[in-house]
Amino acid sequence: MSTLLTLLDAFDDLPQARKLRELTYQGLGDAVVDVGCGSGRAVGELAARGVKAIGVDSNPAMIEAAIERWPTSEFHVGDATALPLADSSVTGYRADKVLHALAEPEQAVVEARRVLARNGRAVLVGQDWDTFVIDSDDPELTRTLVHARADGMPNPRVARRYRNLLLDNGFANVTVEVHTIVWTDGACLPLLANIGGEGAWLDDQTARARNDQLFVALPIFLASGTRAE
């Protein structure tokens, strides 16, 4: 769990990631569920703005970490396809880096519609796991490693389906944006270790970071829509 938290923290601390989070908060209203809340950063930030924010994550250890970090906020262990919320009980639904981990992501979108009030807003955020851009002296190996990591996910390419998932499951006014996160320093080495593991490839990336020659770019897809009647 500490490795996963390290990865999440390294990403969330990036100025680009903070700016992207701000965009995801827009239009969510005054009662929001953050699905796949992880260590609870979004819940804490929303609560600090006076929003009634509820965090849900399927991983009990993540919920424990969230409660420790944000003790005054509300968190629940729960499934994205069966949220512990009543029908039409929230004005905003947020799922950040979640749907790729689900065998049936469309069921999570159905559940989003169920818990949203009339004209409630759903926001889906995440990366397409095939689109990591990594400068390397061995592009063929890099491509192999990226695709192998993607193939280990239940739905690695679901982000390119966000728009259709919303349209097909009762959402209107659907929009999609792409925001690219760029790393040029060692902050992303935990992410690269997660992709390539220990060995010569990671050693090369570590040397690049040390010599200010690292380049990693990750497109993040942000889709949103309102609950249609």
Residue type, 38: G
Once rounded to an integer, what is the mean pLDDT over residues 120-129? 96
**pLDDT in the model for residue 14:** 81
Work out the pLDDT band at 16, boundaries 50, 70, 90. Answer: confident
**pLDDT in the model for residue 17:** 87
Domains of the chain: 3-127+154-179+221-227 (3.40.50.150)
**pLDDT in the model for residue 41:** 95
CB-CB contact of 156 with 97 (8 Å): no
**pLDDT in the model for residue 71:** 94
CA torsion sign, 110 to 24 to 9 to 64?
Answer: negative
Is pLDDT at 91 greater than 80 in this prediction?
yes
**Could you report the per-residue pLDDT of 56-89, keeping only the tens digit for each?**
999 999 999 999 999 999 999 999 999 999 999 9
Is pLDDT at 9 greater than 90 in this prediction?
no
Once rounded to an integer, what is the mean pLDDT over residues 20-42? 96
Predicted TM-score (pTM) of the model is 0.93
Work out the pLDDT band at 2, boundaries 50, 70, 90. Answer: low
CB-CB contact of 40 with 66 (8 Å): yes
CB-CB contact of 13 with 75 (8 Å): no
Residue that wins the pLDDT comparison between 187 and 85: 85
Task: Transcribe 44-91 into DSSP letters.
Answer: HHHHTTT-EEEEEES-HHHHHHHHHHSTTSEEEE-BTTB-SS-TT-EE
Tell me the pairing of strands 90-96 and 31-35: parallel
From start to end of 102-170, where are the E strands?
A: 116-127, 133-134
